[in-house]
Amino acid sequence: MRNDTPYLNWTTWTSGENLNIIINTSALGVWNYTIQYNDSIGLLGAPHTVFITITQQEEPNGGIPGFTFLVGLVGLVAMTLNYYRKKRGLKTRKNQYLNIKRL
């Protein structure tokens, strides 16, 4: 039974063997599954109840901690290096232009 509602029909079971019951994990909440059995002459045994809580899985919050900062820092360093490289390159070209003009 699941929450006091029949879940499976009576089936035969051999003592000592495991029971394999599929549990519905698609509905959130607390569910109780009760196993009932009877013997070969119809006498009911002691029922056993298991409570199962299905909760919503938390979504990860964006990957590796600090990764966004690291990408931003690498981008900033790359832009700074590129700026100084271009600035130095302009001075070199300007000096080359002046040297050519002087000749």
The angle at the Cα of 25, spanning 9 to 12, to the nearest 5 degrees, equals 20
Report whether pLDDT(62) > 80: no
Report whether pLDDT(48) > 60: yes
- Better-predicted residue by pLDDT, 52 or 58: 52
The answer to whether 31 and 54 have CB atoms below 8 angstroms apart is yes
pLDDT at residue 53 in the model: 92
Give the three-state DSSP class for 53: strand
pLDDT at residue 97 in the model: 59
Q: Global pTM?
A: 0.46
pLDDT at residue 17 in the model: 86
Q: What is the mean pLDDT of residues 16-42?
A: 85
Report whether pLDDT(72) > 60: yes
Report whether pLDDT(93) > 80: no
Tell me the C-alpha distance between 67 and 86, whole Å.
Answer: 29
Q: What is the mean pLDDT of residues 47-61?
A: 83
